[in-house]
DNA sequence: GAGTATGATTCCCC
DNA sequence: GGGGAATCATACTC
């Protein structure tokens, strides 16, 4: 006799118990010893229960639960269930860790979205800023925007994750309670409950994976936008270029502004210190490569500087004494053919 | 659309 | 880390 047949015969034996048998252990023994009853009869008896009053049904249930053979029969049924159903599905239960989830987790960790907070993802922002050639301490608009948006993504991610975890926990408890309740009337082994919990966790973990995927996509989009925005070239305005050129040509003998000078120029031009450094780097190289081409520009700025200096001097003379010598501003530079002062 | 200008990036050296 | 040189990518001009 195979397991399923044994189970059916077990159920048939239990189903065939009359109210008189339940109250009479000898009768039960006789009923259990009887040949298999027809399935139709059992179903008929089950259907007949629906015609009974609630009190009668409760009484029958109570009588069954109190029957001295019930624990033994219950354990046999559990065993059969475990052998027939759980052994088949059990193989699929112990899945190895999903590499996709691992990749997503690693990425979220690296970007500062998951894991311990590191200043709102400042590490990733700094890395992105560094990758873009800017100093993390520039305090540029793009950097602070990136950090703010990353912090927003992080907040949403954690809030959603918390919701999922709470829902998962609540649902698991609910199902476990239901199963425990049902286990009084039908064979439910602890292993089966564990299996059910695992199924629920798998379902919720697939939802979590979707959340992680969406978060990763959001971070990628943010990052690419951030880097693109920094990479996108915009010409400096005319005034900024004039300020930089004035400094460059008036310091042509040593066109290397100090950090303080760079900061000052950056402030004047409303650009970052890195941009000032880039500008001077480019200017030095391009000037050196083609001095002839820049000579006209150099002379232009020399004249401009001289005029400005004269203007400042005149104002100072008027304010002080007509005899005061010209001491303000840059001297009008006299350029050698190689462009040096 | 081609050529040029120019800001940004990358690699290398010191 | 700062600077030189090469290069990229985009804006601008014709």
Q: Nearest nucleotide (C1') to the CA of residue A232?
A: C10
| d(CA A221, C1' C1) / Å | 31
Residue A70 predicted with pLDDT over 70: yes
- DSSP states of A134-160: --GGG--HHHHHHHHHHHHHHHHHHHH
| d(CA A276, C1' C1) / Å | 16
* pTM score of the predicted model: 0.43
How far is residue A153's CA from residue A229's CA, in Å, rounded to a whole number? Answer: 19
Interface residues 256-295 of A with strand C (CB < 7 Å)? 256, 259, 277, 281-282, 284-285, 288
Per-residue b or e along A108-118, where b marks 16 or more CB atoms closer than 10 Å to that residue's CB: beebbbbeeee
Is the model more confident about A320 or about A57?
A57
| pLDDT (0 to 100) of residue A286 | 92
- Helix residue ranges, H only, chain A: 3-15, 19-22, 25-33, 39-51, 54-66, 70-81, 87-93, 99-110, 122-131, 141-182, 190-231, 238-250, 259-269, 273-289, 291-319
| pLDDT (0 to 100) of residue A317 | 64
Residue A164 predicted with pLDDT over 70: yes
How far is residue A273's CA from residue A330's CA, in Å, rounded to a whole number? Answer: 23
Q: Find and give the residue nearest to B9, measured CA to C1'.
A: A133
Q: Is the CB of A238 under 7 A from strand C?
A: no
A19-68 pLDDT, tens digit per residue, is: 444 444 444 444 444 545 666 776 677 677 667 777 877 787 777 677 77
How many other C-beta atoms can be found within 10 angstroms of the C-beta atom of residue A157? 20
Tokens 């009359």 locate to A18
Band of pLDDT at residue A284, cut at 50, 70 and 90:
very high
Residue A245 predicted with pLDDT over 90: yes
- DSSP states of A88-107: HHHHHHSPPPPHHHHHHHHH
Tokens 């200096």 locate to A309
**Long-range contact list for A244-249, CB < 8 A, 24+ apart?**
A244/A269, A244/A276, A244/A279, A244/A280, A244/A283, A245/A297, A245/A301, A246/A301, A246/A304, A246/A305, A248/A280, A248/A283, A248/A287, A248/A301, A249/A297, A249/A298, A249/A301, A249/A302, A249/A305, A249/A333
Q: Is the CB of A275 under 7 A from strand B?
A: yes
**Nucleotides in chain C near protein beta carbons (<7 Å):** 2-7, 9-12
Residues A341 and A253 sit within 8 Å (Cβ to Cβ): yes
Q: Find and give the residue nearest to C10, measured CA to C1'.
A: A233
**Nucleotides in chain B near protein beta carbons (<7 Å):** 5-10
Q: Is the CB of A235 under 7 A from strand B?
A: yes
Q: Is the CB of A133 under 7 A from strand B?
A: yes
- Of chain A, the end-to-end C-alpha distance in Å amounts to 109
Q: Which of A257, A239, A259 is nearest to A247 (CA)?
A: A257
| d(CA A103, C1' B13) / Å | 38
Q: Find and give the residue nearest to B7, measured CA to C1'.
A: A233
| d(CA A82, C1' B8) / Å | 67
Q: Is the CB of A277 under 7 A from strand B?
A: no
How far is residue A132's CA from residue A117's CA, in Å, rounded to a whole number? Answer: 23
How far is residue A18's CA from residue A5's CA, in Å, rounded to a whole number? Answer: 22
């Amino acid at each position: 006799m195979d397991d399923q047949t044994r189970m059916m015969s077990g159920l048939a034996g239990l189903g065939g118990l009359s109210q008189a048998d339940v109250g009479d252990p000898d009768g039960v023994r006789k009923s259990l010893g009887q040949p298999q009853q027809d399935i139709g009869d059992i179903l008929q008896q089950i259907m007949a229960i629906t015609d009974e009053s609630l009190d009668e049904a409760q009484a029958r249930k109570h009588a069954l639960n109190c029957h001295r053979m019930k624990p033994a029969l219950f354990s046999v049924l559990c065993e059969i269930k475990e052998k027939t159903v759980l052994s088949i599905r059990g193989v699929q239960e112990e899945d190895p860790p999903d590499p996709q989830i691992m990749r997503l987790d690693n990425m979220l960790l690296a970007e500062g979205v998951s894991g311990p907070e590191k200043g709102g993802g400042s590490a990733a922002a700094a890395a992105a800023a560094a990758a873009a050639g800017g100093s993390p301490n520039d305090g540029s608009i793009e950097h602070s925007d990136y950090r703010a948006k990353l912090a927003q993504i992080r907040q949403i991610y954690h809030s959603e994750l918390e919701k999922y975890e709470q829902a998962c926990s609540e649902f698991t408890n609910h199902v476990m309670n239901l199963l425990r309740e049902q286990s009084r009337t039908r064979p439910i082994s602890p292993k089966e409950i564990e299996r059910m919990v695992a199924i629920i966790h798998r379902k919720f973990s697939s939802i979590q994976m979707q959340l992680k995927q969406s978060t990763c996509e959001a971070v990628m989009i943010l990052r690419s936008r951030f880097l693109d925005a920094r990479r996108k070239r915009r010409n400096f305005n005319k005034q900024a270029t004039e300020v930089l050129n004035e400094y460059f040509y008036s310091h042509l003998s040593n066109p290397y502004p100090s950090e303080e000078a760079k900061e000052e120029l950056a402030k004047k031009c409303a650009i970052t210190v890195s941009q000032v450094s880039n500008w001077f780097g480019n200017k030095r190289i391009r000037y050196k490569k083609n001095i002839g081409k820049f000579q006209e520009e150099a002379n232009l700025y020399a004249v401009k500087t001289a005029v400005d200096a004269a203007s400042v001097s005149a104002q100072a003379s008027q304010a002080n004494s007509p005899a005061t010598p010209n001491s303000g501003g840059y001297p009008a530079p006299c350029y050698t053919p190689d462009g040096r002062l």
